[in-house]
Chains A and B, each alone.
Chain A
Amino acid sequence: MIKEKVLDVNKLAIHLLPSPKYKTTTLVLQISTKLEEETVTARALLAQVLKSATRTLPSRKEIRRYLDDLYGASFMMEVQKRGEEHVITMKMETANEKFLQDNTPLFQKSTDFLKSVLEDPYLDKEGDFSEKIIREEKRILKQQIESIYDDKIRYANKRLVEEMCKGEPYAIHAYGFFDQIDNLTTKDLQEEYERMLAEDDIRLFVTGNITEEEAVNAGNVFSLSSHPELHTPAPALDHVKTKPDEVLETDDIQQGKLHIGYRVPIRFADDEFAAMQVMNGLFGGFPHSKLFMNVREKESAAYYAASRYDSQKGLLLAFAGIEASNYKKVTSIIEQQLAELKEGSFTEESISQTKKMLKNQLLETADSARGLIDLYYQGVIGGRKRDLESWLAEIDAVTKQDITDCALNVSLDTTYFLHGEEEIN
């Protein structure tokens, strides 16, 4: 089984996940800081600007052509919310030379490229980021934010989180705020850039057919530090509402999107984490789960009905696409399923089935480079190292009592329903 090795190369943490089966090598830089209203928009825009030009490749086109020449090396930069952290991810994937009739040192070139994007960006004569690129990327960022509305399931999910976590950093979207974009200046970006390099938690993940020596060499290319001393995780706060909220909104749509948010005081670092994963699996994680079996199979009320557990923040989210006229019926079915989990009304057989599915999911995730890196990064963000093997063992050890204990800790916070103009029932 894959073993993670964490190397300290001039204070930069390198997470090496050797995996000889891939035909490509993947390098991922994870750059995280607290999610804050004041900085989030600048960071989202900064990521877009950095990926568009470097000192030696001063335009998007030159970057793309350079990558094409490296046998279609893929390079992407994205911003994400992980719990209440804002993470900029820079990912580079290149073919392993041994499958090509060519011996360009692709790994080394992709490491150098990644360094130049982050540490050696394009600056004009005055030493500023390009106004032209900033203007173009502002438009793209605005369009990205606006387009969330166009995917109604994604939009309903965003609205639920905004309503449910009002006043908490978690309510902020990783793309930031539409209204702040126009006012951002080159200076704002510059300041955020410098602050990021000086303070953020920066780590390099490497996977593929790579040796420790190669990983160390890759680390030596950068002049970054992980700044672990600056990052002590804030204690998680539990929010419990005495009276749950209900938010109903209309849109010009055919199908209602029901999204229900619950609070769970169990997070990745907790010993109960695996039990909570099993609980979510029984509730709505799989096709044998209660939501799928009851909302879809028994009542024919939905095509999708599922749940997701966010272990960084401590949330359980349930969702289904339904007729507006079935709103009350479906919410009460979902409520009933949770009640059954709290009462222990589920079989040993379903527990063992769920555990198998969860373990299968974990192992499958570990088969893809991206998934593997993600599994290990969860431990960094969540404040607990959990390697694949012990994670699997923790799932196996979960008992029925553990699961009902978790379910009893789940409390309804907000029900959000986006529906057409018709009457709801």
Chain B
Amino acid sequence: METMEFTQLQETVFKEVLPNGLTVYVIPKKDFHKTFATFTTNYGSIDNRFIPLGKDKPVLVPDGIAHFLEHKMFEDEKGDVFHTFGEQGASANAFTSFTRTAYLFSSTQYVDENLKTLLDFVQHPYFTEESVEKEKGIIEQEIRMYEDNADWQLFFNLLGNLYHHHPAKIDIAGTAESIQKITKDDLYECYETFYHPSNMMLFVVGDADPDHIIDLVKQNQEAKTFSQPEPIERFFEEEPPEVVRARTVQSMSVNTPKCMVGYKVTPPEKTGRDLLRYELAMELLLEMMFGASSDAYESMYEDGLIDASFSSELSVERSFSFMAVGGDSPDPEELEKRIIDTITEVKQKGFAEGELERVRKKKIGSFLKQLNSPEFIANSYTHYAFYDMHLFEASTILEEISEAEIKDLLLTHFEEEKRTVSLIEKKRAE
């Protein structure tokens, strides 16, 4: 078992890689009532073209299949696994992102039993034609719910503008049409390829004893047999560096229009600590330009262009990366202009004295706040660990980042041909 101490944060991380390839992390949190565990596969909505386990030719699977699989895992011969978690007083859930599928529970009692249930249900696929057909109605309603969600539409329109071929542009749940094509055999094929223990990570945060947890997981895994781990081959078409189109506008039944400006970012060729440092430096940069205490924020607020929904974010994922800035606005075209002007101006004039120190303090404080949450720790740590990064290094790295480093990022990002805009406008009465 590997032990990593983070003295200033007063946190210790325990890690072990089991013989079958499964990586287990435990972070003890004394005095918490709850234990939170996630069991995550490094597989999400973008992994739609790959060579299935034991085959030699790539396949292209229907849109939304990773998410469909996530839904179907909760059922086995005996019925619904929510029932078992319920009997053990745990609340269970799951989510699918672009690059990950995570199954999770939190409970304040029967932690051992719940942990075994989590491992067992995710490692036991059971799909029938009938149950797959039945799920289509439920997922169709989930898709409809997102169709009525203007923020979701704004975001996926932006991704559609950014990417020519990359599957990040595909809605995570797929479409009402694409999910109709999914069969039980497709689900088994994806499952066998991507749910091998060597492609997965178990994360436990809470009032837990690391030795005990790791023993329990070991015993559980030793009782099961898995094929030899094989490297997974995934394919992505070559993606041009520039965007598909400069803007899209969609009309929806909303009172307040929305604007989001996006920049395509060439995925950084970095891993581990370097990648974390890059991400954190970019976040500091965005905070300096668009954070709540920036000059731009204050002037847009005073001019009635933004409200508390305004935000900026960088997303660095396996094989793609982008930035998005925006929010609700009564005048989305003007907001678009001001966002772009802000970047141009900062590029010319640079930042005021003391700006970096201020946002650095803010980031460190926010990071500490997030460490109160076992959910945050498990989800973020897993995300970073798939890229060989350690979340808890963030506060030390934040202290190290220099102004020169940030200036360099400012000058090498935000090119015009990588920019796109997504707007939601108010639908007029017909």
Which residues of chain A have a CB within 8 Å of any CB of chain B? Answer: 19-24, 59-61, 64-65, 67-74, 93-96, 99-101, 136, 139-140, 143-144, 146-147, 149-152, 251-255, 286-288, 293, 296-297, 299-304, 321-323, 349, 352-354, 356-357, 359-361, 363-364, 366-369
Chain A residue at minimum C-beta to C-beta distance from B255: A146
CB distance B364 to A71 under 8 Å? yes
CB distance B8 to A363 under 8 Å? no
Number of A-B pairs, beta carbon distance below 8 Å: 189
Question: Nearest-CB distance from A109 to chain B (Å)?
Answer: 12
A21: contacting residue among B32, B82, B359, B362, CB under 8 A:
B32
CB distance A322 to B141 under 8 Å? yes
CB distance A68 to B293 under 8 Å? yes
Chain B residue at minimum C-beta to C-beta distance from A65: B293
CB distance A364 to B255 under 8 Å? no
CB distance B368 to A152 under 8 Å? no
Question: Nearest-CB distance from A107 to chain B (Å)?
Answer: 13
Q: Interface residues of A: mostly helix, strand, loop or mixed?
A: mixed
Rounded to whole angstroms, the CA-CA distance of A287 and B174 in the bound complex is 24
CB distance B91 to A94 under 8 Å? no
B138 within 8 Å of A (CB atoms) = yes
Question: Nearest-CB distance from A146 to chain B (Å)?
Answer: 4
| Inter-chain pairs besides A23-B372, A287-B92, A353-B89, 10 sampled, C-beta below 8 Å | A20-B31, A21-B32, A70-B361, A143-B307, A147-B254, A352-B87, A353-B83, A354-B86, A356-B88, A356-B109
Q: Interface residues of B: mostly helix, strand, loop or mixed?
A: mixed
Instruction: Report if A71-B83 is in contact (Cβ < 8 Å); known contacts: A147-B328, A300-B134, A303-B142.
Output: no
Residues of A within 8 A of B149 (CB): 151
CB distance A140 to B372 under 8 Å? no
Q: List 25 A-B contacts (CB under 8 A).
A: A21-B29, A59-B298, A61-B298, A64-B292, A65-B358, A68-B359, A68-B362, A72-B361, A72-B362, A72-B363, A72-B364, A93-B369, A95-B365, A100-B364, A143-B256, A143-B328, A150-B254, A251-B253, A286-B91, A323-B141, A353-B83, A353-B89, A357-B86, A359-B109, A368-B373
Residues of B within 8 A of A353 (CB): 83, 86-87, 89
CB distance A147 to B256 under 8 Å? yes
B107 within 8 Å of A (CB atoms) = yes
Residues of B within 8 A of A99 (CB): 8-10, 368
Residues of B within 8 A of A303 (CB): 138-139, 141-142, 145
CB distance B427 to A71 under 8 Å? no
Residues of A within 8 A of B80 (CB): 287-288, 293, 297
Residues of B within 8 A of A144 (CB): 307
Instruction: Report if A68-B256 is in contact (Cβ < 8 Å); known contacts: A287-B86, A302-B138, A303-B138.
Output: no
B136 within 8 Å of A (CB atoms) = yes
Instruction: Report if A367-B83 is in contact (Cβ < 8 Å); known contacts: A24-B368, A149-B255, A150-B256.
Output: no
B304 within 8 Å of A (CB atoms) = yes
The 7 A-B residue pairs with the shortest CB-CB distance in the complex, in nearest-first order:
A72-B365, A300-B137, A356-B89, A71-B365, A72-B362, A64-B293, A255-B144
Rounded to whole angstroms, the CA-CA distance of A292 and B421 in the bound complex is 39
Within 8 A of A (CB), among B81-116: 82-83, 86-92, 106-109
Residues of B within 8 A of A146 (CB): 255-256
Residues of B within 8 A of A64 (CB): 292-293
Instruction: Report if A321-B141 is in contact (Cβ < 8 Å); known contacts: A23-B371, A353-B86.
Output: yes
Residues of B within 8 A of A140 (CB): 307-308
CB distance B31 to A19 under 8 Å? yes
Within 8 A of A (CB), among B18-49: 29-34
Question: Nearest-CB distance from B364 to chain A (Å)?
Answer: 6
CB distance B145 to A360 under 8 Å? no
B412 within 8 Å of A (CB atoms) = no
B235 within 8 Å of A (CB atoms) = no
CB distance B109 to A360 under 8 Å? yes
B209 within 8 Å of A (CB atoms) = no
Question: Nearest-CB distance from A4 to chain B (Å)?
Answer: 16
CB distance B292 to A149 under 8 Å? no
CB distance B87 to A361 under 8 Å? no
Rounded to whole angstroms, the CA-CA distance of A349 and B368 in the bound complex is 41
Residues of B within 8 A of A301 (CB): 137, 141
CB distance B254 to A23 under 8 Å? no
A366: contacting residue among B9, B33, B301, CB under 8 A:
B33
CB distance B29 to A101 under 8 Å? no
CB distance A368 to B364 under 8 Å? no
Residues of A within 8 A of B399 (CB): 101
B330 within 8 Å of A (CB atoms) = yes
CB distance B144 to A254 under 8 Å? yes
